[in-house]
Amino acid sequence: MNRTVLLAGTILTAALVGILFLGLGHDPKHIDSPLIGNPAPPFELKVAGGNETIALAKFRGKPMVVNFWATWCRPCWEEHPTLTAASNELGGRVQFLGVVFQDDESKILGFLQQRGAAYPTVVDDRGKTAIAYGVGGVPETFFIDANGVVVAKHDGPLSPEQLQSYLAKDLGQ
């Protein structure tokens, strides 16, 4: 009986230690997006500083990079040059779109004037689009293929190498 209890206890402890060990390599803040492999949630939002709106459907047929950001987010400042350079380089082959989240329109315009705007930026006023995309914090970037399907998501600021990798692997660029 004592041997059985010891064996059962050892197996149980080993299993628990194994689960904890696996968890060590996992970022607790990273959540796999259930949107991957599914159609990108549609939206139609007002362009920052303008009166016109842009609908996601407008870009159907072209791979897209949709970046959720805000001017109060420092990591967004870091990745802005990366996204701008990639948009300028890829020209019409990939459509970049910025979605500003929980921010003030005058600050957005000031930021873009100062740091450059290579692609359209829309304002998610009440955060409905961010909620539909499961955004937890900015920056978050979604890669959408030409069929309108979300193929990848990146949490945090994108480095040029990371962006290049997503564009090559997930969008075939």
Partner 1 sequence: MIITLLLLIGLAEAPQGTPLQGAALERRTHEIAAEIRCPVCQGLSIDDSPSEMAVNMKAEVRDLVARGYTRDQINAYFERSYGQFVRLRPEFRGVNALVWILPIAALAAGVFFVLLTFRKLKNAPPKKQQRDDLYLARVRELTKGASR
**Residue 25 engages partner 1 in binding (rule: CB under 8 A):** no
Tell me how long the chain is. Answer: 173
CB-wise, 33 or 141, nearer to partner 1?
A: 33
**Residue 143 engages partner 1 in binding (rule: CB under 8 A):** no
**Residue 109 engages partner 1 in binding (rule: CB under 8 A):** no
CA distance 122 to 143: 17
Distances (CA, A) of 12 to 1, 21, 22, 121: 16, 14, 15, 53
**Residue 133 engages partner 1 in binding (rule: CB under 8 A):** yes
**Residue 137 engages partner 1 in binding (rule: CB under 8 A):** yes
Q: State phi, psi for 10 to the nearest 5 degrees.
A: -65, -45
Burial of 10: CB neighbours in 10 Å, binned 0-12, 13-18, 19+: exposed
Judged by CB under 8 A, the number of residues near partner 1 is 22
CA distance 128 to 5: 54
Binding mask 41-80 for partner 1 (x = CB under 8 A): xxxx------------------------------------
User: Which spans of this chain sit near partner 1 (rule: CB under 8 A)?
Assistant: 31-35, 38, 41-44, 102, 126-128, 130-137
